[in-house]
Amino acid sequence: MSRTKTVIPILLALGFLLAPKSSQAQDGLPSQPSEVASGIEGAPAAPADSKPAKESRWFTRIGVVGAFYHSNARTSNNFTVSFDVGYNITKNIAASVTVGVPPKPHITGEGAVASLGVLGKVRYGPVFFTGSYRFPKVGRVRPYGGGGAAYAIIFKEFDGSVTQLGVHNNWGSILQGGVEYEVNKKYDLFFDFKEIWLAVDAHGQLSGNIPVKARVKLNPSLVSMGIKFHFH
């Protein structure tokens, strides 16, 4: 009888140790592997090895430009194409350089020299250096404003009633304003207005070899629209 009392506890202990772990959990005793698995699931995820690509601060714009002159001589209006390359210095401040396909306005005399007709033509390349402040977006729309400097590079002069026409490069100043509309993360549409104060010095000869000199105010208003591309 004493032997039976000794064997029964041993068999019960062996049965408990050999029982499936799910049975032990049902009896209110959590199994050790479940605790380890639970700890792994609750651990924070390891940091990813790669970071998302950072958006570049560089951008470019291409647009169609109308140049409307407010000159002291009658200067023909022109349409051309402009290209911008810019850099976002901060979230709101940008700097850009704009060049245009060289236009070829012709200058017609007015007042006392109106009878002379077309005084000459000039093909010049405009270059604009501007800084702008970009206001916070309203939905997809973002207005901006700024200013800077303009430089007129004279490529070629064409004689009219003034012969041996010579026109010199010169600097001017700019005020700029516009608005951009975000199409997606890569592209915007833009509308831009620039008011430019620019004059050039010219010289030549009238019939009879009479030398003439003049300071011609061009003072164009530029209206442009086009597309902006963000580099990534």
H-run or E-run covering 93: strand 93-100
pLDDT at 214: 82
Domain residue spans in the chain?
2-42, 58-230
Query: Residue 2 gets which letter from DSSP?
Result: H
Beta partners for residue 223, in sequence order: 66, 193
Q: What is the pTM of this model?
A: 0.71
pLDDT at 108: 81
pLDDT at 217: 87
What's the rounded Cα separation, in Å, for the pair 60 and 230?
7
User: Residue 153, CB half-sphere, CA atoms under 13 Å: how many?
Assistant: 9
Residue 77, both tokens: 């209006």
**DSSP conformation letters of 67-87:** EEE--SSEE--EEEEEEEEEE
What's the rounded Cα separation, in Å, for the pair 192 and 222?
8
pLDDT at 40: 46
Return the amino acid letter for 54: K
Burial of 151 (0-12, 13-18, 19+ CB in 10 A): middle
Burial of 206 (0-12, 13-18, 19+ CB in 10 A): middle
SS3 198: coil
pLDDT tens digit sequence for 173-191: 999 999 999 999 899 999 9
Q: What is the pLDDT tens value at each position of the chain, 232 positions in all?
A: 455 455 455 544 545 544 555 444 445 445 454 444 444 455 455 455 555 556 789 999 999 999 999 877 778 888 899 999 999 999 999 999 999 888 888 888 776 666 777 888 889 889 999 999 999 999 999 999 999 999 999 999 898 888 888 999 999 999 999 999 999 989 999 999 999 999 999 889 887 788 888 888 889 999 999 999 998 7
pLDDT at 111: 66
| Domain 58-230 fold | Porin (2.40.160)
